[in-house]
Every structure is written in C-alpha cells, then in structure tokens.
Amino acid sequence: MSLAIDVEAGVATITLNRPEALNAIDPETRQALKQAWKRVHEDEDIRVAILTGAGDKSFCTGSDLKKTMPPKESFAELMFNRAESDHLLAGLDTDKPLICAINGYAMGGGLELALACDIRIASENAQFALSEVRIGSIPGAGGTQRLPRAIGISNAMLLLLTGDRVDAHEALRLGLVSQVVASHQLLQTAQAIAERIAANAPLSVRAIKRLVYQGMDMPLYTGMDHERFAFGLLRDTEDRIEGRVAFQEKRQPKYKGR
C-alpha cells in the first residue's frame, strides 16, 4: 500500500509509504492522498493530522517521473472539463491543523506538500529544495507562492532562482521549519505537538487557523474585524463554558466541538 493512515486519540498519521522510491508520488499515491485529506476534513474524530514518509532517508521527492506520464488532455480540458482535480494538493484545504514531519529529502513537490502544512518539524538529516528551474520548469504546486510567505521574498528568491539545496539547520534559520530533532525523535515530537493541539477546543483551533490564513491577505483592520466576529461566534459555545468550568475545578476540559 503506497499510503497508510492511522487514527488514534484525535490524531491522524498519514504516511507516504514508498521508501524504495524515496516516497515519490505515483498516480496511486496521489489518489490515496486525496482520499486521506477527504477523511481528515470530514471525520469529526480527527482533530489534527501528521504527514510523514516511511523510512529515514526521504520524506518525499515529489512526483514519480517514471510512473507519471504527461496527460493526453489539453490544459484547457484539465482545467475546465474535469469534475475533480488531480492536482498534487487537491482536497488538502481544511481548517484542521496539519503537521509535517520531514524525515530526509523534501524535494520539489515533496517540499510543496510540506509548505501546505501548518507546522513543519524536520529530522537532522532533512534536505530541502525546489530545483525545478534547473530543468526548465517551475514549482507548480504552490512553491512560488508559499515559500516567500514562509521565509520572505529575498530568501525564497535565492532558493527558487538557483534551485539550491539547504539542510535542516539552514531551514531552521530561514524559518522554513519550526524545530530540528534527531531522526529517532521526529515522529514522537510531531505526535506530542499534535496531541497538545488535539486536547484544545476544536472549534477554537479551526477558527484560529482560518483567521491566520485569511488575515494574511487582508489589511490589519479588516483582519481584526474578522477576529472579533469569530470571537463572538465562539463566545457562547459549550466548549468555551467547559473550558472555564474545568479551569475553576482544576481538571482537564472535555471538549466536544460544539
């Protein structure tokens, strides 16, 4: 099976499972990823998802060029005449937090998958690159848009225009990842973060994620307006009351997402 998904205690762990191909994404894996994101989005028992790769050599090196043939359809047909997109990131949009545990290579589409996640943790042997410019192409799954937002325009331009590779510690310095840990601690670290998030009020978590991303494209005063509106929506929820009662009673809150 090219992709595995395991759900426990509100955390879904999605594992790209083609270590023999450096977890490159073939058509089967692409469809499995789409179904995994659909499950994450729709399953109320899932509060947080972790995306990682099998083995300790590679998180993902992007599309498997040996198994991904050029489409027969014209670009217009693919854009306007297909019921569902087969884009690498199709179905990934969700208000639930996504954590990427990057073990080894994150190249091309693999780095773009990581950039589409909210929190990125890397192993010490991780390496990162968007080197499409070297083969006469461009990052086509959000790389030119998400990388500047993650690390700033100058740093992003340096990587995008040269196609250079950076290691985990340089990625940490640039702000591309939040933490760098030993390989054997990577999944454990990601799971600990996911569990802390999953223990929080799910409506609050989802509202915060939506507000952050929407606010990045708004003037500050408009973003503040949206924040105030979301605060009002959450004010009278059962979970907000439960949070206060649990604090008063010195116990862990039991959130229900309502």
Specify the pairing of strand 179-181 against strand 166-167. unpaired
Helix 220-235 × helix 202-215 angle, to 10°: 170
* Cβ partners under 8 Å of residue 188, min gap 6: none
What one-character DSSP code corresponds to residue 53?
A: E
54 within 8 A of 16, measured Cβ to Cβ: yes
In degrees and rounded to multiples of 5, residue 130 shows phi and psi of -120, 90
Q: How far apart are CA 147 and CA 130, in angstroms?
A: 10
The two three-digit tokens of residue 157, written as one number: 């331009």
Residue type, 121: I
Active site residue 249: no
Catalytic residue among 112, 195, 227, 238: 112
Residue found by looking up tokens 């340089």 in the block: 170
The two three-digit tokens of residue 186, written as one number: 């990577």
Catalytic residue among 28, 73, 84, 132: 132
CA–CA distance from 95 to each of 47, 86, 141 (Å)? 10, 21, 19
Active site residue 132: yes
Q: Give the residue numbers annotated as catalytic, written as ranges.
A: 112, 132
